[in-house]
Amino acid sequence: SYLRNLEDNPQIPAIAKNFGTKGRYEEVNPYLIEDILAVNNSILQPPSAQCRPIHLTAIIRHGTRYPTSKNVKKMQQFYNIVLQNASGEDSWLREIQNQWTMWYKEDMDGRLVLKGMNDHKHLAIRLSKLFPSLISEEKLRGGFIKFITSSKHRCVNSTLSFKAGLTELWEIRDQKFDHAVNDALMRFFDNCKKFLQDVDNNPSAMTEVDNFKKGAEMRRVQEKIADRLRVKYDAITDDMAEAAFYLCAYEFAIKSVNSPWCRLFDEVDAQVLEYANDLKQFWKRGYGYDINSKSSCILFHDVFSRLDKAASENKSGQQVTEAVTVQVGHAETLLPLLTLLGLFKDSENLTSTNYAKQTQRSFRTSYILPYAANLVLVLYDCGGGDLRLQPLLNEKPVMFPGLTDQKAAMPLYQDIKEHYSELLHGCDFEKECQLF
């Protein structure tokens, strides 16, 4: 049905699947386009009927947002080039020049949009349908569901929206629910000195990204955009090509429209721009540098300490005091953690020179990190002391790499802890992030 949605639906740009971290959540779960509250219960078959979920942790990126002011400036610059220099009779160009108006403002600066609020409201409802014994009115009212968020408004507003999804679902009006702002956990990268020095504030750390943006593939994209606009080649820099891509992506993500901006790209162009974004995420947040993932040690230990607490309370027959933890952060909160867990690792690094070989790469943020992307870890008690952990990414099972358990979709919690024992006994945030 997604193909019908995609190919027949003129409202969905064909290149919507290439938007990377600027992509809509619906693109990774196309069944949501027809029913935003649909869930796929079949994916959650525990290994036996006696398995019951006892704890759930969800680490969620905020919902759809406005562009950052850095990108609004580039989009405005590109819009001016099209207004002043472009020529031609194409209908899409006339629409840009005569009807479309630049409505993005710098002070929007990455704030959550209405669609982003709904992303989290609907995710909350879908997760309550998938795990009704954990995400329930009783658990919420009883204080067994905790909320933790980054201090950025897009994350706080996403957290409020997630809560509103539940309080509206259960028509709760007589009770308020707190959330804890915790940047040490949700913005750990701001406090990791080694990451700030070696990566974030080190221009040479992005050499592969810069080289690709100055390379042959990107230059061809720039020339094709210039040809479509009938402007000089030197008017369309790599930054301008990216700004055009963002105009198409944001018009779609925020307004769900297939805007005329998308006519500036074909599939090849979109894949090149997608790779440029994936290169940035790989070297700034992913496998590019070890410190990228090690900066998430504080979050890694926080998650496992909560799983251990739930396991021990369950074992001693007590009620699990923290049944559910909902943690809202950024793409750069999730990606380092996924990298630490070894997920989506390719055999070769993404570089400026192996684009052609990486077309089937696992490290593809369009699939991994759309708005409202979420890693959900569910701990099950399957009886007889048999605890199992199921990881879900964007409501689909993922397998921890290297775990050969025949029920790999839901391995024994003990096996997972053995698999990650080096990290569990090490991965000390202070040590990893200290400057020598």
Ligand X SMILES: O=P(O)(O)O[C@H]1[C@H](OP(=O)(O)O)[C@@H](OP(=O)(O)O)[C@H](O)[C@@H](O)[C@H]1OP(=O)(O)O
The answer to whether residue 120 forms part of the interface with ligand X (CB under 6 A) is no
Structure tokens at 79: 């819009």
Structure tokens at 302: 């926080």
The answer to whether residue 332 forms part of the interface with ligand X (CB under 6 A) is yes
Nearer to ligand X, 190 or 405 (CB): 190
Amino acid sitting at position 352:
S
The answer to whether residue 151 forms part of the interface with ligand X (CB under 6 A) is no
| Nearest-approach distance from CB 286 to ligand X, in angstroms | 12
Provide the greatest CA pair distance for the chain: 74
Amino acid sitting at position 246:
Y
Place of tokens 């002011």: 69
Nearer to ligand X, 245 or 380 (CB): 245
Nearer to ligand X, 62 or 419 (CB): 62
Nearer to ligand X, 187 or 345 (CB): 187
| Nearest-approach distance from CB 187 to ligand X, in angstroms | 9
**Contact criterion met (CB below 8 Å) for 398 and 420:** no
Using the contact rule CB under 6 A, the part of the chain among 63-71, 174-182, 254-262, 336-344 near ligand X is: 63-71
| Nearest-approach distance from CB 6 to ligand X, in angstroms | 22
Draw the binding track, 22-41, toward ligand X (x: CB under 6 A; -: no contact).
x-------------------
The answer to whether residue 71 forms part of the interface with ligand X (CB under 6 A) is yes
| Nearest-approach distance from CB 419 to ligand X, in angstroms | 28
Nearer to ligand X, 52 or 70 (CB): 70
The answer to whether residue 68 forms part of the interface with ligand X (CB under 6 A) is yes
Total site size for ligand X, rule CB under 6 A: 11
The answer to whether residue 74 forms part of the interface with ligand X (CB under 6 A) is no
Name residues whose C-beta falls within 8 Å of residue 320's C-beta, 6 or more positions apart in sequence: 54, 55, 144, 310, 313, 314
Nearer to ligand X, 47 or 63 (CB): 63
H-only helix segments in 369-434: 413-419, 421-425, 429-433
Draw the binding track, 288-327, toward ligand X (x: CB under 6 A; -: no contact).
----------------------------------------
Structure tokens at 271: 């894949």
The answer to whether residue 61 forms part of the interface with ligand X (CB under 6 A) is yes
**Contact criterion met (CB below 8 Å) for 255 and 13:** no
**Residue 390 parent element (H or E):** strand 387-393
| Nearest-approach distance from CB 48 to ligand X, in angstroms | 38
Backbone phi, then psi, for 216, in 5-degree steps? -65, -45
H-only helix segments in 187-257: 193-195, 207-213, 216-229, 238-255
Among 70, 193, 255, 396, binds ligand X (CB under 6 A): 70
Name residues whose C-beta falls within 8 Å of residue 220's C-beta, 6 or more positions apart in sequence: 272
Residues 267-286 that bind ligand X (CB under 6 A): 284
CA distance linking residue 335 with residue 343, whole number of Å: 9
Among 32, 331, 372, 377, binds ligand X (CB under 6 A): 331
Structure tokens at 48: 């036996």
Using the contact rule CB under 6 A, the part of the chain among 68-76, 157-165, 374-382, 385-393 near ligand X is: 68-76
Concatenating the DSSP letter of every residue in 324-350 gives EEEEEE-HHHHHHHHHHTTTT--SS--
- Length of the chain equals 436
Amino acid sitting at position 275:
Y
Q: Which of 55, 62, 122, 179 is catalytic?
A: 62
CA distance linking residue 255 with residue 251, whole number of Å: 5
Residues 358-397 that bind ligand X (CB under 6 A): none
**Contact criterion met (CB below 8 Å) for 371 and 112:** no
Nearer to ligand X, 278 or 381 (CB): 278
| Nearest-approach distance from CB 245 to ligand X, in angstroms | 11
Is 62 in the active site? yes
Nearest to 232 by CA among 359, 84, 105: 84
Active site residues: 62
| Residues that bind ligand X in the complex, under the rule CB under 6 A | 21-22, 61, 65, 68, 70-71, 284, 330-332
